[in-house]
A and B are shown apart, each in its own frame.
Chain A
Amino acid sequence: MDILIVLIKIAVVLVTFLTTVAYVVLLERRLAAGIQNRIGPNRVGWQGVLQPLADVVKLVMKEDIVPAQANRFIHDLAPMISIFAALVTFAVVPFGNTIELFGQQIKLQIASVNIGVLYILAFASLGVYGLTLSGWSSNNKYSLLGGLRSSAQMISYELSMGLSIIGVVMIAGSVELDKIVLAQSGWKWNLILQPIGFITFVVAAFAETNRTPFDLPEAEQELVAGYHTEYTGLKFGLFYLSEYANMLTSSALTTTLFLGGWQIPYAENFGLPAFWLSVFQVLSFCMKTLLVIVFFIIIRWTIPRFRYDQLMNLGWKVMLPLSVLNILLTGLVMLLIN
């Protein structure tokens, strides 16, 4: 019975996740168009709602080209690693409290891993293999440069990302994500308690997901398309999907770690029935994640790309000391209060 519940949870979350990813692509295209005073895709279906479907059909139908001198096995493997890393991270994100369905208490989280934050950091950094291997196996200088850049960038920002989470972990007293969310009840969102940590985490999240202003691995103006220059059809689609899946996952993580997760401040006092309270909590999680995604998209069309040396300067000389300082400050304040 338990295994059945887990399987159903996985199926529901996976389907919802992938559909959301597809619609995040549409949202990005429409919002980008709006920012550039255009209309954007609005032909397929009402206001373009079927556009993601049309895109998927197009990508699946396209020819799969592998360069002559490419390492075929790794060339095939790389996009799979990329999408795997993006999907697997979402498994530990709690998207709601427990809910009672058909007389069963169901925890709204696929896997409550007791090393939560470590698990996330481990799998998020696994994603770099996808990009680096795709760059290497394509036998193309642009791909290779993109792959190298992505690995350098990921390693630099992984550090400040990990350190900026430590402040959160100190406050919650646990690395389990559901406990971190529970510790943020009421007004005690980590956004308020950890402003520096929030900023460093979000900046690192931008760098980890290869979004502008840190999209150096696929800088169009210099590297054609970066690491996925030599990819077509379904495999390109997987990279595209994993980029947006990464974005969605890191938005969900930002929500969980800093914006109170599924918590609605003081919702327990409204006197709602338990079932509806859980539903609203899940909805609040979705809304917060959506807001972070919109923020991601707007930033992309607001800030120009960093130069490579600026990226490294920011990573090592600003983000890293800031996140260390944040840990010190958090420790100091906790010591003074207790």
Chain B
Amino acid sequence: MKSNGQLKIIHKKDLNFWQKIYLTEILKGIKLTLAQVFRPKFTRQYPEERWNPPASFRGRPVLVEQNDVERCVACGLCARVCPALAIEVQASESEYWKERYPVKFEINMLRCIFCGFCEEVCPEEAIVMSQEYELTFHSQEEAIFGKDKLLVPVEKLKDRLEFLRKYR
């Protein structure tokens, strides 16, 4: 330790007799460890008790569905920004007010790294990170999510959308 430019030597206190023969210290240690047994446990019994993530959590990306139509206008920015090249978009024309829509929108969940860039770049707030974190597949084909799996009604994504408006 340094104080007023001089090195100060700190001597360790010698152990006293009872500390030297260990036994009392061991008994103290046992008291400490045994006391832990009766304290509340941290374990979550997973399949029964699930974790509800906060709104800031980046789960699997989903497409926002409003009035039975996706908000997406197939601009392709998400596919462009995706660092893992997980998104594939094919645009087409429609007779709705928004004129463009994705005829094909696929996210390869094996490639997705949950960075949230797609959500950040989206001008229409059409792709957002959901709170779902349970993603398991039996095959590689199953892991490529098409529009059928990606579309989620806007009511279910309220938390995330509110969070985005507040903090972005």
Contact = CB atoms under 8 A, between A and B. Distances in A.
B30 A302 contact: yes
Query: Which of B23, B33, B40 has the most chain A CB within a 10 Å cutoff?
Result: B33
Contacts of B29: 302-303
Contact of B41 (A31, A37, A301, A303): A37
A30 B34 CA distance: 13
A34 B23 contact: no
A302 B28 CA distance: 10
A298 B33 contact: yes
Interface in B14-66: 23, 26, 29-30, 32-34, 36-37, 39-43, 45
Interface residues of B, number: 15
B30 A35 contact: no
A272 interface: no
A302 B33 contact: yes
Contacts of A299: 26, 30
A317 interface: no
B23 to A, nearest CB: 7
Contacts of A38: 41-43
A36 interface: yes
Contacts of B34: 35, 298
A279 B87 CA distance: 73
A303 B26 contact: yes
B33 A37 contact: no
A39 B33 contact: no
B39 A37 contact: yes
B37 to A, nearest CB: 4
Chain A interface size band reads 10 to 19
A303 B28 CA distance: 11
Interface string A33-50: 111111100000000000
A199 B27 CA distance: 13
Interface in B75-105: none
Interface string B98-114: 00000000000000000
Contacts of B39: 37
A34 B37 CA distance: 4
Query: Which of B26, B37, B45 has the most chain A CB within a 10 Å cutoff?
Result: B37
A35 B41 contact: no
Given A31-B37, A39-B45, 4 more contacts: A34-B36, A37-B41, A299-B26, A302-B26
23 contacts: A31-B37, A34-B36, A34-B37, A34-B41, A35-B33, A35-B36, A35-B37, A36-B36, A37-B36, A37-B39, A37-B41, A37-B42, A38-B41, A38-B42, A38-B43, A39-B43, A298-B33, A298-B34, A299-B26, A302-B30, A302-B32, A302-B33, A303-B26
Interface of B: 23, 26, 29-30, 32-34, 36-37, 39-43, 45
